[in-house]
Amino acid sequence: MKSKLSTLTITLSTLFIVGCSTPAIYTAPNAPVSQIANTPTLAQVDKAVKDSLVGRGWIPQKVSPHIYLGTYNRRELMAKIKITFDTSVFNIQHVESKNLDYDSSDESIHSTYNKWVKNLERDIRKRVDRNVKVDKKRGHIQKKVTSTTHQSQSSGSFSYIQKGMSSKEVVALLGKPNDVTRKVTKKAFNPFYFGSDRFRSTYYYRGLGRIEFNISSHVAEIHHDTSEDGNN
C-alpha cells in the first residue's frame, strides 16, 4: 500500500512539474501578413508593423526596410524582439529579455512573453488589412475626382463649381488656371465696409470662362465663357 502511495505521489509530482514547465518560445514563424489582402505593398506592411508596436506599448526602431526592433518594458519585465517582414510573411524573433525565464538551451520562456507576441501577430494582420482597405478607398476617391475633373473640363462648363467653394476645391476640380489676376475693389475704399469683397482674384480657364474669388479665397462670381482664351 505504501509503495502504491509513493508511486502515486511521484506521478502527481511529475504531472505538476510538466504542467508548470515554461512553454516554448513563440516566434510567429512565416505568419501571413494578411488574411484577406492578396497584394499589400511594403509600405502598408511597414506601417502596420510600426503602428502595432506603438499600439501595444513597444518602442519601435527601424533598422532596415524589412526589419524593426521592438523593446517593451513593464515594471521589472523587459523584452526585445526583431520583426522581419516582406509583402507576404513576417517573423517575430526573441532578441533578449529580463525576468521572463528565458532558457536558451530549450528555447523556452514565460507565457507572458508569448502572449505579447501573439497580440502583436494578430494586430499586424488586422492593421495590414485596414491599411489596404483605406488606401483602396482613397484610390477610388482620387479616381472619382480625376474623372470629375476631366468631365468638368471637357464639358465646356463650370457645372461643378459653386459660390462659396474654396480656391483649393476649384483647382482640385478644374486644375490650375491658365492665368490669374488680382485687384482691389471699390468697396475697399468704403470706410464703413468690413466685408470680404474688398479684394478679388480672378482665375481664367481657356474655353471655359473665369472665376472670381473674394479676399478669403472663396468663389464670389462664376462667368461662363467658352470663348475665353485663358489670358488676361
**CA angle centred on 170, ends 165 and 175, rounded to 5°:** 175
Which percentage of the chain shows pLDDT scores above 90?
Answer: 46
Residue 143 is predicted with a pLDDT of 52
Q: Which CATH superfamily is domain 22-136 in?
A: Kinase associated domain 1, KA1 (3.30.310.80)
Domain 22-136 and domain 157-224, same fold? Reply is no
Output phi, psi for 108, to 5 deg: -115, 160
Query: The domain at 157-224 falls in which architecture?
Result: 2-Layer Sandwich (3.30)
Residue 54 CA to residue 76 CA, distance in Å, equals: 20
Give pTM, 2 decimals: 0.53
- Res. 209: pLDDT tops 80: yes
Mean pLDDT calculated for residue range 22-42: 82
* Domain ranges across the chain: 22-136, 157-224
Q: How confident is the model at residue 10 (pLDDT cuts 50, 70, 90)?
A: very low
Q: How confident is the model at residue 157 (pLDDT cuts 50, 70, 90)?
A: low
